[in-house]
Structure 1
Amino acid sequence: MADPELKDLPELVAPPAEPAEQAEFDEENRLKADYVDSVRAALDEGDDTLVYELVEPLHPADIADLFELLNPERRKLLARAITDLLSGEVIAELNDYVRDDMLEALPASAVAEIAEQLDTDDAVQLIEDMEPADQRAVLDALDPEDRAVIENALSFPEESAGRLMQRELVAVPEHMTVGDLIDYMRERDELPTDFWEVFIVDHTHRPVGSCQLSWILRAPRHVKLTDVMKRDQTLIPVNMDQEEVALRFQKYALISAAVVDGSGRLVGQLTVDDIVHIISEEAGEDALLLSGAGEGDINEPIREAYAARVRWLIANLATASVASFIISRFEDVIAQMVALAVLMPIVAGIGGNAGTQTLAVTVRALATNQLTASNTWRAVRRELSIALLNGISIAVVIAVAVSLIFGVWQNGGPVDLAWHLGMVIGLAMMANILIAGIAGVLVPLTLERLRVDPAISSSIFVTMTTDSMGFLAFLGLAVATGLVG
């Protein structure tokens, strides 16, 4: 039964929004193909009313997904049909390429209106990649206060804390009590709509601590903020790279963190929702760099994707010529025994896979600061131990298999030539896997020391090493052991 003393109180918390109809989603919470086809058909027929009815129940993030599933022509039609649903939240969730296409079709005043709906970090992300002339037009269309904030953010390096941070925060002087803070927050309409932490600053606006809202609500009004605040803050320098910021959040399990300028003054805050996007971007970026797939975005323009991938393929072509040169030095040897040509790709292929495994582990360890100068040689010894065990195991398997497959059974036993071939490929395989382990860890470490991103070019050098050394070990052992003359 409801308390009669509470029945006349206003409802302070809005009821949760009704979820979108589940008929529009599959079991993995993706928009169903049938639903997307219905939207396409309505767009093609010019039935904007039906399009609006279909899209209205969706969450802004799902509307963004819908835009990404359509081709560029239909995106423009959809934007026109659901203009008042095209909020800043939808724009902020859009894929970068899709968003850029849509913004190009909008006047500067419309883009400025969208930017004003967003938090500063999202507004900066919206504007930063625009052409200089378009960017200037949008900034001129903003009100002076918003323009000054965004221009300040754009003055920081790309992918830095200064670009990512939100300027909307709650900061109060250290002399306040809990009661003073509660009254302050109730009286100020200009405070952020959503915040989790209050920053306590001294007279120079340097953060001295922070208070979570849960602590404030449970503390008596007369208690000073300095008595309940957390003093051991993790402060983020404004020029820190976003990848390092993400590692700080992950390491210290942060929900939010203060961003400070060179003099230690509080200039903004970062929240975990921004960091989740960064972690996802950085992880995907490293994987794509290792494969040479460019941005790896299906919405990336064909010309840009081509330019990114063809450079990688040309580099691979150059390194593959090294392996071809080694093979050419053993042309006469291969001509004497065709089995060598049949087995060569196995040695190189397995070595390449072993190198890729070690390389992936090493690049990830470097990216997450698990591998540093203090434990480099321990990591090298570990990878060599794994490579040795893998090499012995694979060598035994391939030696026995080759001996049996190429053996000609006579008088109840295989001929010596088959066992000789098996021994040679086994030894070559073990040597190449060891080489792969060494290359997979030392190549990225060397590039890291040279301040080159190891994710960009490591795989080229590792592949070249395993291919070249695999062929050299196999064919060289064939000659050295007398398998061929």
Structure 2
Amino acid sequence: MREETDLAASRSGRGPEHDVDPIDVPGFVEAIVGAIDVRDVEALRGLVADLHETDLARLLEALPASERPRMIELLGSDFDFTALTELDETVRVQILQELSTQTVVEGLRDLDSDDAVYILEDLDEAEKQEILAQLPIPERATLQRSLDFPEESAGRRMQTEFIALPPFWTVGQALDYIGETDGLPEVFFEVFVVNPTFRLSGSVPLDRLLRTKRGVKIGEVVTADRHVVNVTDDQEDVARVFERYNLISAPVVDEAGRLVGVLTVDDIVDVIQEEADEDLKALGGVAGDEELSDSFWYIARSRFTWLFLNLIAANLASFVISMFEDELQKMVALAVLMPIVASQGGNAGTQTMTVAVRALATRELRTSNAGRIIARELLVGLFNGVVFAVIMAVVVFARFGVADLGFVIALAMIINLVAAALGGILIPLTLNRFKIDPAVSSGPFVTTITDVVGFFAFLGIASLWFQT
């Protein structure tokens, strides 16, 4: 009885007391696998009937790889292909390659154009063309046109289903058309007004349309769109416009100003999440497209470059240390304390670098305010350097009883934290100026600067001080 209650809760997505992730309900995934193994289509449909597309995607990821295409084939038209847009790219491509072409074609025909393009774009060109060839000519032409736009552009993200009306229609005609016409978008927030050549004149929000008398012409209530997106605009730039102006949707036009699609806020949320995910991974030295489902060899190759750059930086720091081998042999305390200086500088540099990279990504850090931000970071580095210098001087004197050694590490700490602050912001700015992604490339350079400056400052000052 308890298991039946759990499975029922998993299908509805809610438990008796609180929200329940259906994939985590005991026995649910096993019940799905059992239904697939015996080809019990009715039981399978009953289990997944009420799953949201996101939960359906998580179910696919939880299944053994061999069971995923079998489940989709068994469900047939009852499987929501939108769930594939929620999968990791690796899993999605594997599933598509296992499915019959006809199954993929039928699934894509029920999707909005932007979702269909999202699913197709990761396939090999031959596989892509094989699927497109079996679609009706109008749908094929629409998808092919979107696929021809650059990756990560508005043209790739846009939905080509929208409502466009002439300005001489009345509000009554527009409402009748929306209410009686099949094949219109399921979700929309405005209707667009176009001239006979399909050039965009503006839009009418639905709330205004519903509140206007039926006899008024559409052209009299149209508003010129201030935030029109071009098909070639980068998706990250478009996302920034949505965020800045709190947009729900925006029209997309081609080079001639003709309306070709619309971007909605749900598309932009995905873009923001993807871009943030890529930046976060890049700062950690991980490829932006790395996913949990990727193979061992792919992950090992993608991480090699970053680790190799860090190895070069470590060897350079090691070379600096070797320059002061005699001083290290004379005073063991130097060897004990020098990692503290480099580590503190590395942490400070990473903090500054993270803020700078994010500010560059959001266009908050620009040429006009770069000088002020650099000066601020320099002051922050100097202030923290002085504070931690005092702390370390006291700690070193208490630990080793050598006042001069406390002075040496204090001075080195100030120098390295100032260097970390400058390197943390100047390196991303320089890389960005040369069109190199600062999120990907800043880390090894900042690490090298803080290690080399930290070791050289501490050991160099110690060498000069204790020789005098």
TM-score (norm 2): 0.92
Aligned to 1:375: 369
Q: Is the 8 A contact 1:292 1:308 kept in 2?
A: no
| Distance 1:371-1:210 versus aligned 2 partners, 3 A rule | same
Aligned to 2:133: 140
Aligned to 1:348: 342
**How much has 1:220 moved relative to structure 2?**
1.1
Q: How far apart, in 1, do the equivalents of 2:350 and 2:22 lie? A: 33
Aligned to 2:183: 190
Q: How far apart, in 2, do the equivalents of 1:401 and 1:71 lie? A: 57
Q: How many residues are treated as equivalent by the alignment?
A: 457
Which structure 2 residue ranges, 5 or more long, are not aligned?
1-9
Secondary structure of residue in 1 paired with 2:184: coil
**How much has 1:317 moved relative to structure 2?**
0.8
Secondary structure of residue in 1 paired with 2:263: strand
Aligned to 1:88: 81
Aligned to 1:437: 421
Greater shift, 90-99 or 41-50, is seen at 41-50
Deviations 1:30-74 (A, max 9, x none): 732624553476369657465554333322210101112334234
1:332 aligns to 2:329 (yes or no)? no
1:154 aligns to 2:147 (yes or no)? yes
Deviations 1:113-163 (A, max 9, x none): 111111111111111111121111101111111111111111111110111
Q: How far apart, in 2, do the equivalents of 1:350 and 1:187 lie? A: 68
Q: Which amino acid aligns with 1:315?
A: L
Q: How far apart, in 2, do the equivalents of 1:35 and 1:383 lie? A: 55
Q: Describe how 1:149-228 pairs up with structure 2 within 5 A.
A: 149-228=142-221
Secondary structure of residue in 2 paired with 1:469: helix
Q: Is the 8 A contact 2:253 2:261 kept in 1?
A: yes
Aligned to 1:128: 121
| Distance 1:309-1:30 versus aligned 2 partners, 3 A rule | farther
Q: How far apart, in 1, do the equivalents of 2:420 and 2:24 lie? A: 45
Provide the identity percentage.
43
Q: Describe how 1:67-466 pairs up with structure 2 within 5 A.
A: 67-80=60-73, 82-294=75-287, 295-407=289-401, 418-466=402-450
Which structure 1 residue ranges, 5 or more long, are not aligned?
1-17, 408-417
Aligned to 1:9: none
Q: How far apart, in 1, do the equivalents of 2:280 and 2:22 lie? A: 24
Q: Is the 8 A contact 1:43 1:77 kept in 2?
A: no
Q: How far apart, in 1, do the equivalents of 2:192 and 2:387 lie? A: 58
Q: Is the 8 A contact 1:161 1:236 kept in 2?
A: yes
Q: How far apart, in 2, do the equivalents of 1:44 and 1:406 lie? A: 71
Q: Is the 8 A contact 1:356 1:459 kept in 2?
A: yes
Q: Which amino acid aligns with 1:160?
A: S
| Distance 1:464-1:43 versus aligned 2 partners, 3 A rule | farther
Secondary structure of residue in 1 paired with 2:66: helix
Secondary structure of residue in 2 paired with 1:23: coil
Deviations 1:217-248 (A, max 9, x none): 01112223233222242011110111111111
Q: Is the 8 A contact 2:32 2:47 kept in 1?
A: no
Q: How far apart, in 1, do the equivalents of 2:16 and 2:133 lie? A: 41
**How much has 1:183 moved relative to structure 2?**
2.4
Q: How far apart, in 2, do the equivalents of 1:278 and 1:334 lie? A: 52
Q: How far apart, in 2, do the equivalents of 1:84 and 1:190 lie? A: 18
| Distance 1:83-1:203 versus aligned 2 partners, 3 A rule | closer
Q: How far apart, in 1, do the equivalents of 2:20 and 2:330 lie? A: 58
| Distance 1:76-1:108 versus aligned 2 partners, 3 A rule | closer
Aligned to 2:34: 42
Specify which of 8, 22, 31 is matched with residue 14 of structure 2: 22
Tell me the C-alpha RMSD between the 2 structures.
Answer: 2.2
